[in-house]
Amino acid sequence: SQQGEEDPQALSIQEGENATMNCSYKTSINNLQWYRQNSGRGLVHLILIRSNEREKHSGRLRVTLDTSKKSSSLLITASRAADTASYFCATDAGNNDMRFGAGTRLTVKP
């Protein structure tokens, strides 16, 4: 079974709307990271949130972490067509043991 599950797997919104993607995991973690992937290529690191943090912001990105529910959410505000990509969460349980979730494919329509 996968460590992280993204919810939803596909999301389609209009430009200017907010996009929320969720990720759940099963084991204890040191940190959780969100990545973006364009067109099946390499992943780009967006933001890291540590297990003792509850919320983190970076530009239009807002990430929350609820360790009691073993879940995280990525919110992209005021979305743009250029935000169209796949978004993955990855959990680091220590010893750099990273587990990627299934990914959410976000489509932002102009």
Site string for another protein, 46-85 (x = CB under 8 A): ----------------------------------------
Spatial distance between the Cα atoms of 50 and 110, rounded to a whole number of angstroms:
34
* Cβ-proximal residues to 50 (8 Å cutoff; 6+ apart), any chain: 30, 31
37 part of the interface to another protein, by CB under 8 A: yes
* DSSP per-residue codes, 8-61: -SEEEEETTS-EEEEEE-SS--SEEEEEEESTT--EEEEEEEETT-SEEEETTE
Q: Which CB, 34 or 65, lies closer to another protein? A: 34
Q: Contact with another protein (CB under 8 A): which of 72, 79, 103, 106? A: 103
List 45, 54, 57, 109, residue binding another protein (CB under 8 A):
45
Distance CA 27, CA 31 (A): 11
**94 lines the binding site for another protein (CB under 8 A):** no
Instruction: Return the number of the residue (9 or 18) whose C-beta is nearest another protein.
Output: 9
Residues in contact with another protein by the rule CB under 8 A: 1-3, 9-10, 35, 37, 40-45, 86, 88, 96-103, 105
